[in-house]
Homo-oligomer: A and B are copies of this chain.
Amino acid sequence: MSITAHRPLRADARRNREKVVAAAAAAFAETGLDAQVEDIARRAGVGVGTLYRHFPTKDALVAALAEAHFERLADTVEAALEGEPGDGWETFTTTIWRIADAVAADVAWCEIVGGHPTAGQNASRAEHRLAAATCTLLARAQASGAMRADVTFADLSTIMCGFGHIAAAQRAGAALDWKRYLRIALDGLRAR
């Protein structure tokens, strides 16, 4: 692990980098993770070579965008935790629905959430933040008594993994309804 002092990018390079990121976000949101590199470059109005100057591989580009996504999710959960401490269950479900709405709007995001959850060690900084905040959210919901005591963070990950997959499939035209899915799954978490 080394700290590299980047000299500032030349103005045109910085502009192009931003164009690439924006184009990639748009392409991935529409088409999903198998949006093509050439298409992203075309949308950005640059050559593929320029894209590869800024991101060594397509995966690196995806990872950069994913990190930004997770950062926003972590913000959402942390904000919910800091709000006035009402009912733990209510806060929990509201937050999950808010996250789901955000994710469902972006095909690639669905696919990332639906993909195999990153193993603990390989998780990025933002993923760790998100996990930590979510654990607290979960604990509070359990403390309120409305959530089953045996539910774990892993259970929640699993449910959200299923959600991502279903939302992506729905976006792809399958006769599925992620809202109904999530309602059932969350109901399954309630204490009886």
Residues of A within 8 A of B (CB): 114-117, 119-120, 151, 154-155, 157-159, 161-163, 165-166, 169, 172-178, 180-181, 183-189, 192
Q: Nearest Cβ distance between residue A109 and chain B, in whole angstroms?
A: 16
A162 cross-chain contacts in B, Cβ below 8 A? 162-163, 165-166, 181
A151 cross-chain contacts in B, Cβ below 8 A? 184
Q: Nearest Cβ distance between residue A148 and chain B, in whole angstroms?
A: 8
Number of copies: 2
Q: Nearest Cβ distance between residue A61 and chain B, in whole angstroms?
A: 23
A154 cross-chain contacts in B, Cβ below 8 A? 175-177, 180
Q: Which of A115, A183, A184 has its CB near the most chain B CB atoms (within 10 A)?
A: A184
State whether A157 and B184 are in contact (beta carbons under 8 Å apart), knowing that A169-B116, A192-B192 are contacts in the complex: no
In the bound assembly, the distance between CA atoms of A181 and B187 in angstroms comes to 13
Q: Which of A157, A158, A159, A172 has its CB near the most chain B CB atoms (within 10 A)?
A: A158
Q: Nearest Cβ distance between residue A21 and chain B, in whole angstroms?
A: 28
In the bound assembly, the distance between CA atoms of A186 and B189 in angstroms comes to 10
